[in-house]
Chain A
């Protein structure tokens, strides 16, 4: 038997072999069942997707209309761009007073301290003297409204509660309001006697708040401005040893500027 004839015979056998048809009917039924099941599964998935899409769109639209959308986006870690610090026309005046102006709160702690609070503190040593030589009283004269009685930090919460009764509803909102008031007193009206207890109140109210680093730093600046060098040194040393980035550097610079004047 030659090799080619062996292959040829085997090929002929394969070509002429018949296959069983007794399962043909069962296979037909199996095929149609599978196709039907796939169609049903596809329709179910499509239906679920449609429902999910409707719920997502509807809830997003509701959140946008009621003003909860920025908070919801922040809760899931998405950045929120606020075009204006002013509340939208949809919000009531009460909601506007209660809600802190996050854009200013975010920006100013980063941008303003180096320029607004520190130029005279870092450059010449005598720039530190102004907080001692120049009494903070001129700032007092510029005080727009007597919101806080500076000597007693305990008053700060009271001062907060007076203009904004709604601030007492929830602690996170209250802390944000305190922060905003402290920020205004510190950077807008330069009333450091008023700002210091407000920074203390924020740090007491929200020890784990988002703006604790800024509040601690600004509090230290208030102490410098008010001539309380010892307290300022303690606060700045804590910041310089714990913080990262520009705060630590600037705290160290202020400490270096303070030390030669310290006996």
Chain B
């Protein structure tokens, strides 16, 4: 679910204001970085949570993304939306956190199934069925290669088209489609077995 726009977003939505903000972030202006965080942290956090499947790891990922943003902004040429650029930065920094989140999930699973489900219920879903579905999907995603996992989350979960995903991931569109195809078929196979592997 996308973050709802607030007054800050509306006030800063003009292209000139955004360009000025980007310029100040590139120069290392801490205030500008804070403003950019206020405008985009919800979207980045939501994407990070879906990407790594763990709220704690997602929070660390959000931290890393915005700390790296002043330097990463030097590569931003304005040919894509800022949101897409932020998603690309998040993907670039996600590997370490994905592994940490997967390790944490395996640890919980080894401990107890019920505790694992309740731990993942901290994502905000009180529905136990939905929580179980989420848990199964995260377990299945953990078994995918990282590139396929990212392609699945960016396209099927975040709703990006394959061309938009190609810009975010900096790969050809055909590569995105291939990865997405393999991810879907693997996930169907895993979930078709009841989530057991």
Contacts and interface: CB of A to CB of B under 8 A. Distances in A.
Contacts of B156: 11
A44 to B, nearest CB: 16
Interface stretch (A20-28, A53-61, A150-158, A159-167): A20-28
B41 A28 contact: yes
Nearest to B49: A19
Interface string B58-90: 110011001100100000000000000000000
B33 A32 contact: yes
Contacts of A14: 50, 134, 137, 153, 157
A217 B197 CA distance: 83
Contacts of A31: 33, 37, 63, 66-67
Contact of B137 (A10, A24, A27, A32): A10
Given A28-B37, A31-B37, A34-B67, A18 B134 contact: no
Interface residues of B, number: 42
B191 A3 contact: yes
A6 interface: yes
A15 B125 contact: no
A182 to B, nearest CB: 66
Given A18-B123, A19-B46, 20 more contacts: A3-B188, A3-B191, A10-B140, A14-B50, A14-B134, A15-B159, A17-B50, A17-B125, A18-B46, A18-B124, A19-B48, A19-B49, A19-B123, A21-B45, A24-B42, A27-B63, A30-B63, A32-B30, A35-B30, A38-B67
12 contacts: A3-B188, A6-B191, A10-B133, A17-B1, A17-B123, A17-B130, A21-B42, A28-B38, A31-B33, A34-B63, A34-B67, A35-B67
Interface of B: 1, 28, 30, 33-34, 37-38, 41-42, 45-46, 48-50, 55, 58-59, 62-63, 66-67, 70, 122-125, 130, 133-134, 136-137, 140, 153, 156-159, 184, 187-188, 191-192
